[in-house]
């Protein structure tokens, strides 16, 4: 079971995710990101504070949307990623693909810096 909450921040739209992201919940994860994109928000912060587990299926969702978001002039920033989850991002070198921030505010502010 995955819970997704959307919030507006100053320079970005925040998608707060809670639950384990695996092959069973990856569809919900993708649906949440695509709903934000479809609403016209391409500066997106993914808040992973409440995600204790992610498998390669979950990382595949991020890979599948990133190009579309960047081609549209936006980006995906990762906020509050738990250490063990970050370790998997790092193990698969997804840390070269995304920027990571300790707080949602810092991630949102990163959009202002690049605007």
Partner 1 sequence: MSQMDPKAIRLTSSLDHVGLARDFVAEIAKSVPMNDRQVYDLELAVDEALTNVIEHAYEGREDAQVELSVTHQGDSFTILISHDGLGFDPASQPDVDLKEYIAERRVGGLGLFLMKKLMDEVEYTTSSDGRRIIRLVKRHPGGAPPPEPGAAG
Q: How far is the CB of 105 from partner 1 (least distance, A)?
A: 28
Q: Which residues contact 80 (CB under 8 A, 6 or more apart)?
A: 47, 48, 49, 101, 102, 103, 104
Would you count residue 72 as binding partner 1 (CB under 8 A)? Answer: no
Q: How far is the CB of 35 from partner 1 (least distance, A)?
A: 20
Contacts with partner 1: how many residues (CB under 8 A)?
Answer: 23
Binding residue for partner 1, selected from 17, 33, 79, 94, defined by CB under 8 A: 94
Would you count residue 112 as binding partner 1 (CB under 8 A)? Answer: no
Q: What is the DSSP string of 24-86?
A: TTHHHHHHHHHHHHHTT--EEEEEEEE---B-HHHHHHHHHHHHHHHHTT-EEEEES--HHHH
Question: How far, in Å, CA of 24 to CA of 51, rounded?
Answer: 14
Q: What is the DSSP letter of 33?
A: H
Q: What is the DSSP letter of 72?
A: T
Chain residues 48-67 in contact with partner 1, contact rule CB under 8 A: 53, 55-57, 59-60, 63-64, 66-67
| Stretch of 2-10, 41-49, 89-97, 102-110 contacting partner 1, by CB under 8 A | 89-97
Which parts of this chain interact with partner 1 (CB under 8 A)?
20, 22-24, 53, 55-57, 59-60, 63-64, 66-67, 84, 87-88, 91-94, 96-97
């Amino acid at each position: 079971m995955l819970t997704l909450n959307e919030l507006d921040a100053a320079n970005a739209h925040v998608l707060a995710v809670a639950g384990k992201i695996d092959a069973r919940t990856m569809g919900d994860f993708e649906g949440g990101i695509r709903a934000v994109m479809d609403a016209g928000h391409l500066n997106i912060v993914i808040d992973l504070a409440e995600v204790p587990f992610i498998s390669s299926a979950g990382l595949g969702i991020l890979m599948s949307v990133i190009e579309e978001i960047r081609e549209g002039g936006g980006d995906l920033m990762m906020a509050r990623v738990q250490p063990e989850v970050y370790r998997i991002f790092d193990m698969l070198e997804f840390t070269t693909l995304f920027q990571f921030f300790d707080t949602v505010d810092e991630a949102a502010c990163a959009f202002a810096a690049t605007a």
